[in-house]
Amino acid sequence: MTVASVSMPEELLDRIDEFADEHGYTGRSEVLREAARNLMGEFEDKQLEDRDLLGIVTVLFDYETSNAEERMMQLRHEYDMLVVSNFHSHVGDHQCMELFILEGGLDDISTFVGKIRATQGTTTVDYSVTPMDASEPIA
C-alpha cells in the first residue's frame, strides 16, 4: 500500500486517534481511508445524476481567526447561478454560520461544496441534497 503524508492540525489528529481507539480501528490510517472512501462516495450517487437538485449547505467558522467569511462571499458571487439564497448569522461568542440554498445539478453542487470544504478556517461543513422532482423519489 502507498504511504501518503497529510498535514492537519494536531487537535484533529488527536480526535482521529481517539475515534480509532473508541471504535475499534487498527489505527488512524484505517480511519482516514474509510473517511476518504465515504467522502468520495457522497458525490457518486448515480440516482442523483441528471436531476435538478435542491442543496442545503451549512458552514461554521471562527470569524476572529480566519478570513472564511470573505471567502464565503466570493463563492456566493462566483456561483450566483447556483446559490438561490444565502443567510449569515452569528452563533456563540466567536462563530459565524453561513447557510446556502442551492438549485442545480450534482456536479455543480459537488464543486461548490468542495470549494467550501477547502476553505481554511471552516470548522464544520454539512450539506444535504434533495431531488426537486419529488414524483421520482430516490430508491
Residue 77 in marked binding region = yes
Question: Could you give the 3-state DSSP secondary structure of residue 122?
Answer: strand
Which of 136, 81, 135 is closest to 109 using CA atoms? Answer: 81
Residue 23 in marked binding region = no
C-alpha cell of residue 30: 484505517
Euclidean distance between CA atoms 115 and 96, whole angstroms: 18
Euclidean distance between CA atoms 102 and 91, whole angstroms: 22
Residue 94 in marked binding region = no
The residues near 65 (Cβ < 8 Å, ≥ 6 apart) are 94, 121
Strand locations in the chain, DSSP E? 53-62, 83-91, 95-104, 122-131
Pick out the residues of the known binding site for Ni(2+): 77, 88, 90, 96
